[in-house]
Chain A
Amino acid sequence: MELTLNKLTKQYRDKTAVDSLSVTLTPGIYGLLGANGAGKTTLMRMVCGILNPTSGNVLLDGKDTISMGESYRDLLGYLPQNFGYYPVFTAIDYLLYVAALKGLTASAAKVRANELLELVSLQTVSRKRIKTFSGGMKRRLGIAQALLNDPRILVLDEPTAGLDPKERVHFRNLISDISKDKIVILSTHIVSDVEYIADQILIMKAGRLVHQGKPDEITASINGYVWECKADPKQSEQLNDRYIVSNLKHEGNQDMLRIVSKQKPYENAVQVEPTLEDLYLYYFSEQFGENELPDKNQIL
């Protein structure tokens, strides 16, 4: 199975949300990273056929997904970033409703709904109305509805928003378990959600794909750019203003800083192994322009 995004573009009157993006996806987990407004949600909507691209197309095994219509949507599972619900529905009602929309038979819908409610730990509240649910419970229910038809292509937009760390770990394990022979596209701001489970990371900026690769490969691209140093609070403040600081920890009367910089930012700074979070900050720090980092003259 191969999903090809072929020069996908979405142009609005005053903005290009997705700019001629091309990528080919095969079964595996793809983490889509990008800041707010990068075009991730627009891209996901075009993949799901909710938005028509201005130009370009989405091909599944060489066939245009728009012309495939129902047969393509049958393979999809989608969790939007902001999804709604009918307040009078209970959790089980909601899943049965979505199952009907996905074309499942009544018996299959019941079996699948109960299975998934157990999987997302909502079986004890299956008869309660969704309006009584917390944000995390609603999000888990949203994940369950995306999995109803055992989709071959699973698109999840910020699936872990509102989930506590334990639930996020559970979710990561769940995605890892079900992702065999599936294309899973997962967009998130929480880097740790994809760092451990994604086969490939796609980094989007201003509607374009700026980097693609395995997590260890793309973090290796900023080898030598990540430093740790100790500084007093005053110097720490100056460093914070001048550089991308990915972590700041107060240790007594000194601060431990983790800085992303092409040049050595401080005299006692030592190079450390970069993480995906460092890479994210490298690409999306507002302090700098297109991947620009401070000049060498700024070493204190």
Chain B
Amino acid sequence: MKINYQKIKQDLQPFSAPAYDRDKMQETIQLAKKCYSEKLISERIGFWRFIAVQVRFIERWIWLAQAASFLLFLFLLKQYHFGKYDMQPVFLLFSSVAPMIAFIGFPEVLKSYSHNMEEIESCTRFSMRKLMGARMLILGLADLCCLTAILAASAASNGALLLRMILYLFVPFNLTCCACLTVIEYVKNRYDGYLCAIVCIICIIVFRKLSFMKDCYEATATGIWIIMFLVSIGYLAIEIVRTFRCLNRFCSKEKTLSVTW
């Protein structure tokens, strides 16, 4: 049946719209807005969504620094002609870059304290512990991806040394992370980010010095590296748990929140 809109319009023309109170209309609109707003802010996100949102708030220079580290490594790897007999420069490279990758992330993890944000962040739905956990998870995964990419690039050049490359990369990285987490756990103040940076620089120097000692990087020393790898993994797991616990308890020890933890 064809609807004749024109006729309908003509039929309705004689009728006028009923009068209405404009103020009431405005009031209705305001109440509707208020109801919508209340419904909207009553919903809450879950923890995994919270972690995903935190990625957005990690500073851009972190991602750029990680990308730059990786590209620099590739460039230097090419310079050193990986696969030649003298592997010394390559081991030096591995031992230096791994602590540097750890170095990039720690100040970002601790920025709540260095920027005096911990009071506000401590009394939100997602506690300080969850926030720090989210940051450590995101940056830890990013570091892992970076290290894996470096390994993949190295393996593409010389796959025979893959096991040793894993050890030479991850042992310095693990030990640097352990040292930084120990600092966070025991030295509680606003400048922990800087202390972690100093620890990372010390680790870079130590492993650079170590890389000049050829005996340390012989195939015969692989057993020692494996032991160090396992010990560092275990210690890292323990330090992560202890650091989390310390994040929740720090308030009870301090004199004033803004000065010490």
Contacts and interface: CB of A to CB of B under 8 A. Distances in A.
A80 B119 contact: yes
Interface residues of A, number: 41
B257 interface: yes
A12 B91 CA distance: 52
Contact of B119 (A78, A88, A100, A104): A78
Contacts of B255: 12-13
A45 interface: yes
Interface stretch (A49-57, A213-221, A246-254, A268-276): A49-57
A76 B123 contact: yes
Nearest to A150: B41
Contact of B125 (A80, A82, A93, A101): A101
Interface stretch (A105-113, A169-177, A222-230): A105-113
Given A51-B257, A52-B251, A98-B120, A103 B115 contact: no
B255 to A, nearest CB: 6
B1 to A, nearest CB: 43
Contacts of B121: 101
Contacts of A85: 115, 117
Contacts of A74: 44, 125
Given A86-B111, A104-B45, A49 B123 contact: yes
B53 A106 contact: yes
Chain B interface residue number, banded: 20 to 34
A84 B40 contact: no
B11 interface: no
B120 A83 contact: yes
B53 A100 contact: yes
B57 interface: yes
Contacts of B116: 82-84
Contacts of B37: 111-112, 115
A115 B121 CA distance: 21
Contacts of A101: 120-121, 124-126, 131
Given A73-B127, A112-B37, A50 B119 contact: yes
A52 B252 contact: yes
Interface in B96-147: 111, 115-117, 119-127, 131
Nearest to B40: A108
B47 to A, nearest CB: 9
> Counting chain A CB atoms within 10 Å of each CB, which of B41, B57, B122 scores highest?
B41
Contacts of B257: 45, 50-51
B88 interface: no
B194 interface: no
B251 A51 contact: yes
Interface string A59-99: 00000000001100110101010111111100001000110
Contact of B251 (A50, A76, A115, A145): A50
Contact of B43 (A50, A76, A105): A105
A108 B257 CA distance: 31
Interface string A196-237: 000000000000000000000000000000000000000000
B7 to A, nearest CB: 44
Interface in A3-40: 12-13
A112 B111 CA distance: 25
Contacts of B117: 83-86
A212 B53 CA distance: 44
A98 B124 contact: yes
Contacts of B119: 45, 50, 78, 80, 83
B215 interface: no
A186 interface: no
Contacts of B59: 88
B127 A100 contact: no
Contact of A111 (B40, B54, B131, B252): B40
13 contacts: A73-B124, A74-B44, A74-B125, A83-B120, A100-B45, A101-B125, A101-B126, A101-B131, A103-B50, A103-B126, A107-B40, A111-B40, A149-B125
Interface of B: 37-38, 40-41, 43-45, 50, 53-54, 57, 59, 111, 115-117, 119-127, 131, 251-252, 254-255, 257-258
Which 4 pairs between the two chains have the least Cβ-Cβ distance? A84-B116, A101-B124, A103-B125, A103-B44
